[in-house]
Amino acid sequence: MERELTHRVVAWWNAGKAGIAKSDSAPNAIHFAVPPQFGGMEGRWSPEDLLLCSVASCFTTTFRVLADYSKFEYTDLEVTVEGTVRKAESGYEFQGILVRPTLTISNLEERLRADRLLEKAKRLCLVSRALLTQQKFESRVRVVARVEASETPASG
């Protein structure tokens, strides 16, 4: 693997109550909206859902890589992630995120090794660690001049 990888996602708020996000690495866009509790559309992913999905999928893929590398066999891994959002003075914020992996193995003697791999996946999950990373913010405002009907040249 290269020493540095760049991932890029672009999101647009098209109109009304929905937006769309596209990744350079995926062929399908994701339609998202504000959560229904805040007036958003039913049946759409919310930014909160996408954050929790990132944590769950990162943990799952991290564990899969560790298990492959360790030649550890398991039957199933289900990862449930719950986030609690609360109202604070500065607005809404995540109060906490609970990651609850359920690993199914067929050999009781592998229990200790399973626990160690689950803990290691928790420590190495890139997305969970990224939540601690300081963010940079580089805003831009683009002004597009409107052309009034009287300003258009007459054809003739």
The pLDDT assigned to 89 comes to 92
Q: Per residue in 41-92, pLDDT tens?
A: 888 999 999 999 999 999 999 999 999 999 999 999 999 999 999 999 999 9
- The pLDDT of residue 6 is 87
pLDDT at 156 over 60: no
Burial code (b: 16+ CB inside 10 Å, e: under 16) for 123-135 equals eebebbeeeeeee
Give the whole-angstrom CA distance, residue 48 versus residue 149: 43
Task: Give residue 111's pLDDT.
Answer: 96
pLDDT band (50, 70, 90) for residue 109: very high
Tell me if residue 67 falls in helix, strand or coil. Answer: helix
Domain 46-128: give its CATH superfamily: K homology (KH) domain (3.30.300.20)
pLDDT in tens, 3-28: 898 889 999 997 688 899 999 999 89
- Residue 104 contacts residue 77 (beta carbons within 8 Å): yes
Q: What is the arrangement of strands in the sheet containing 18-23, beginning at the earlier edge strand?
A: 9-15, 18-23, 30-32
pLDDT score for 56: 96
pTM: 0.82
- Please write the tens of the pLDDT for every residue from 125-146: 999 989 887 778 888 878 888 7
- So where are the chain's domains? 1-45, 46-128
DSSP string of 120-154, one letter each residue: HHHHH-HHHHHTTSPPP--------PPPPGGGSPP
